[in-house]
Amino acid sequence: MIVLHVRTGQAAGHLDEHARSVWFGKLDARAKILGIFAFVIAAALLTDPVLVMCALACALVTALLSRLPPRHLAKAYLAALPFLAFASFSVFLFAGFERGISMLARTSACVIALLVLATGTDTFELFSGLRRLRVPGILTTLLMLTHRYLLLLSEELDRMRTARRARGFSGGRSLLDVQAFRVLSNTAGMLLVRSSGRADRIFEALKMRGFSKDMRPWRETRIAALDAAFMLALVAIAASLLLLQMEVFP
Amino acid sequence: MRVLETTKLSFAYDDGTTALRDLTMTLDDGEKVAILGPNGAGKSTLLHLLSGFRMPFDGTVAVCGRKLEQQSADDIRRDLGLLFQDPDDQLFMPTVEEDVAFGPRTLKLDDIEGRVLRGLRSTGIEHLAKRRPHRLSHGMKKRAAIAGILAMDPRVLLLDEPTSGLDPKSRSELVRLLKSMDRTMLIATHDLEAAAEIVDRAIVLNVGVVKEGTIRDIVTDSKVMEEVGLELPAISRLFKELDSMGYPVEALPVSMDQAVAELTKVIDRVGRQARSRGVTKTAGQKKKT
Ligand SMILES: Nc1ncnc2c1ncn2[C@@H]1O[C@H](COP(=O)(O)OP(=O)(O)O)[C@@H](O)[C@H]1O
Ligand SMILES: [Mg+2]
């Protein structure tokens, strides 16, 4: 999930600004987390192919309604697609075409819902939301730090790639290119060294500002009617999908 | 009051590099002092050591009357605001205002909103409050990092190469900002020109102390300048040139203010000479160019 956030965040720089300007971005993070997770859990439990399709449709509708940039969501989804396709393909091999398709639909529904949550929620809101849902402070802090370090790694990698290019390196496309391999493994080594030095400094900078272990949200927000409505709607969808699956309704 | 004092301070890294040797220095309340030295002179090491991040060391360090030790380090850090050489090390939160609020919040200080506002205002970046720190220009990142420090209201600012990597315009803006700030600060830099504008006193460092005095003392000591490879400020070079062209300079100016004062004197003198020779203006104007 964090990796997802970092990757989507890297892909479109202005994204968090955007996330905050659409209605979905303004919802209370706790409501979003609870609602989306209820939906994801329900979707993961579905087996009836028709209901799975319904769940996928719901996820798509949520994505549309969220007003998040569709191109961006599509890009992030495509990045995840190979993994989904691989999983579905193995199901397809062992259990037949229909099961394979329904697996793809199910995982897609979950991923799309999570993508909407990840791209439509400000980074810090996401973590402080988790914190306020009583996730232990040490855990959210770890998540937050992990997030920062991942950002850092990808920034560092970017810079080194540029530096390499600037000096005329263009290999790395063929696995047989030994020279390219050497350069790349050097890069990996340098990346570790450079990031560990940097990681030390970041930690020093944190200590300089009195950081010990907990992170609190700055502005205490309340769950408003809209937040509650959004959460309840998603929970209701999740519940009815599950109830339909259990054939409570004839 | 003495806010910083080191005696016979020495420090070596694990790999055996001696970064500081027998450094004795002081910093008084309200003073602005520069640590001048080339790359690898130990400037960053000194600032990080003062902040309690380089232990153990030889000699003693006292900050605001307290001895720096492992146990006192956390307390001592509250009196210090360290600006890292690379602002990317320092900026952490998703937005500028949250980043500025980070310190006051973790330290549970009062009036967080007010602190953030004052920090942003005094660095002139109020309009960037909602922006992502990592996407700002280098100069603006530095300002955001400084705002984050100011919001904690430390007794002493430790600034590591504040002007490095800035384009001329943002550099001179930052110099003006630091000059106008009424705070105790220790500035590590190899930018003699910027230091000359900001500080009263400077210490030339090259692992050990090479020389201490006003910037003018240092600039006129060509042996020291040669030894540590510092470059004369452009304005000083200009006046040296003038001097050799036959316009005597009483005291070599190292900052714009001093240059203006010196120039006024030169023009006065030349004007007087010219008048006595019956020629006016043209000669005086020539001097200016
Ligand atoms: N983490 C480290 N480990 C080992 N040596 C270091 C480390 N950091 C700095 N040094 C060495 O210590 C000396 C002083 O470095 P530094 O304080 O960064 O100088 P400056 O900031 O004046 O450029 C240099 O010789 C540098 O190579
Ligand atoms: Mg340095």
Kindly state whether residue A125 falls inside one of the protein's structural domains: yes
Q: What whole-number distance in Å separates Cα of residue B28 and Cα of residue B26?
A: 7
Predicted pLDDT at B169:
84
Kindly state whether residue B234 falls inside one of the protein's structural domains: no
> Which of A16, A148, A155 lies at the smallest CB-CB distance from B92?
A148
| One domain, residues B77 and B117 | yes
Q: Report whether pLDDT(A41) > 80.
A: yes
Kindly state whether residue A80 falls inside one of the protein's structural domains: yes
What beta strand segments (E) does chain B contain?
Answer: 2-12, 18-28, 32-36, 58-63, 66-67, 80-83, 156-160, 184-189, 201-206, 208-213
From the CA of B19, how far away is ligand 1's center (Å)? 6
Taking contacts as CB-CB distances below 8 angstroms, the residues of chain A near B112 are 218
- Write the residue with the smallest CA distance to atom 20 of ligand 1: B40
Digit-coded pLDDT (tens) for A105-135: 888 999 899 888 888 887 667 777 887 787 7
| One domain, residues B273 and B211 | no
The band of B146, judged by pLDDT with boundaries at 50, 70 and 90, is very high
| One domain, residues B7 and B98 | yes
Kindly state whether residue A95 falls inside one of the protein's structural domains: yes
The pair of three-digit structure tokens given for residue B47, joined into one six-digit string: 């600032």
Which CA distances in Å does B71 have to A15, A69, A204, B46, B67?
A: 43, 51, 16, 19, 10
| One domain, residues B83 and B161 | yes
Digit-coded pLDDT (tens) for B158-217: 999 999 888 888 888 889 889 988 899 999 998 888 898 899 899 999 998 888 888 888
Lowest mean pLDDT among A235-244, B134-143, B239-248: B239-248
| One domain, residues A64 and A172 | no
Tell me which residue range forms the domain holding B256: 242-288
| One domain, residues A168 and A146 | yes
Taking contacts as CB-CB distances below 8 angstroms, the residues of chain A near B80 are 208
| One domain, residues B27 and B68 | yes
- Count of structural domains, chain A: 2
Higher per-residue pLDDT: A141 or A209: A209
| Residues of chain A above pLDDT 70, percent | 67
| One domain, residues A47 and A104 | yes
The pair of three-digit structure tokens given for residue A103, joined into one six-digit string: 């697996």
Predicted pLDDT at A189:
64
Tell me which residue range forms the domain holding A172: 137-208
Q: Report whether pLDDT(A29) > 90.
A: no
| One domain, residues A75 and A176 | no
Predicted pLDDT at A224:
80
Task: Give the closest ligand to the alpha carbon of residue A198.
Answer: 1
- Count of structural domains, chain B: 2
| One domain, residues B97 and B216 | yes
Digit-coded pLDDT (tens) for B119-133: 998 888 999 988 888
What is the CB < 6 Å shell around ligand 1?
B 13, 15, 17, 19, 37, 39-45
CB pairs below 8 Å between A and B: how many? 68
Kindly state whether residue A154 falls inside one of the protein's structural domains: yes
Lowest mean pLDDT among A28-32, B101-105, B227-231: B227-231
| One domain, residues A94 and A169 | no
What beta strand segments (E) does B29-65 contain?
Answer: 32-36, 58-63
Q: CA-nearest residue of chain B to A125?
A: B94
Indicate if the alpha-carbon torsion angle B111, B117, B118, B120 is positive or negative.
Answer: positive
CATH code of the domain in which B63 resides: 3.40.50.300
Kindly state whether residue B19 falls inside one of the protein's structural domains: yes
Kindly state whether residue A94 falls inside one of the protein's structural domains: yes
Calculate the average pLDDT of chain B: 86
Q: What whole-number distance in Å separates Cα of residue A40 and Cα of residue A63?
A: 14
Predicted pLDDT at B289:
44
| One domain, residues A110 and A152 | no
Higher per-residue pLDDT: A226 or A169: A226
Kindly state whether residue A215 falls inside one of the protein's structural domains: no
Q: Report whether pLDDT(B270) > 70.
A: yes
| One domain, residues A126 and A144 | no
Query: Using the beta-carbon criterion (under 8 Å), do B92 and A205 form an inter-chain contact?
Result: yes
| One domain, residues B135 and B269 | no
Question: Any idea what DSSP says for residue A67?
Answer: T
| One domain, residues B247 and B191 | no
| One domain, residues B143 and B284 | no
Buried b (16+ CB within 10 A) or exposed e, A22-60: eebbbbbbbbbbbbbbbbbebbeebeeeebbbbbbebbb
| One domain, residues B220 and B255 | no
Q: Does A213 touch chain B (CB under 8 A)?
A: no
Q: Report whether pLDDT(B249) > 80.
A: no
| One domain, residues A167 and A62 | no
Which CA distances in Å does B76 have to A211, B32, B71, B92, B231?
A: 14, 19, 10, 22, 35
Q: Report whether pLDDT(A52) > 60.
A: yes
Q: pTM of the entire structure?
A: 0.70
Q: Report whether pLDDT(A44) > 80.
A: yes
Q: Which of A209, A215, A220 should we substitute to test contact with B (largest number of B Cβ atoms within 10 Å)?
A: A209
| Residues of chain B above pLDDT 90, percent | 36
| One domain, residues B26 and B105 | yes
Could you tell me which residues of chain B have a Cβ less than 8 Å from any Cβ in chain A?
A: 48, 51, 53, 74, 77-78, 80-82, 84, 86, 88-90, 92-95, 98, 101-103, 105-107, 112, 130-132, 134-135, 148, 152
| One domain, residues A25 and A53 | yes
Which residues pair with residue B204 across a beta bridge?
B36, B211
Q: Report whether pLDDT(B12) > 90.
A: yes
| One domain, residues B246 and B212 | no
Query: Using the beta-carbon criterion (under 8 Å), do B94 and A122 form an inter-chain contact?
Result: yes
Task: Give φ, ψ of B24 to 5 degrees.
Answer: -120, 125
Taking contacts as CB-CB distances below 8 angstroms, the residues of chain A near B106 are 209-212
Kindly state whether residue A72 falls inside one of the protein's structural domains: yes
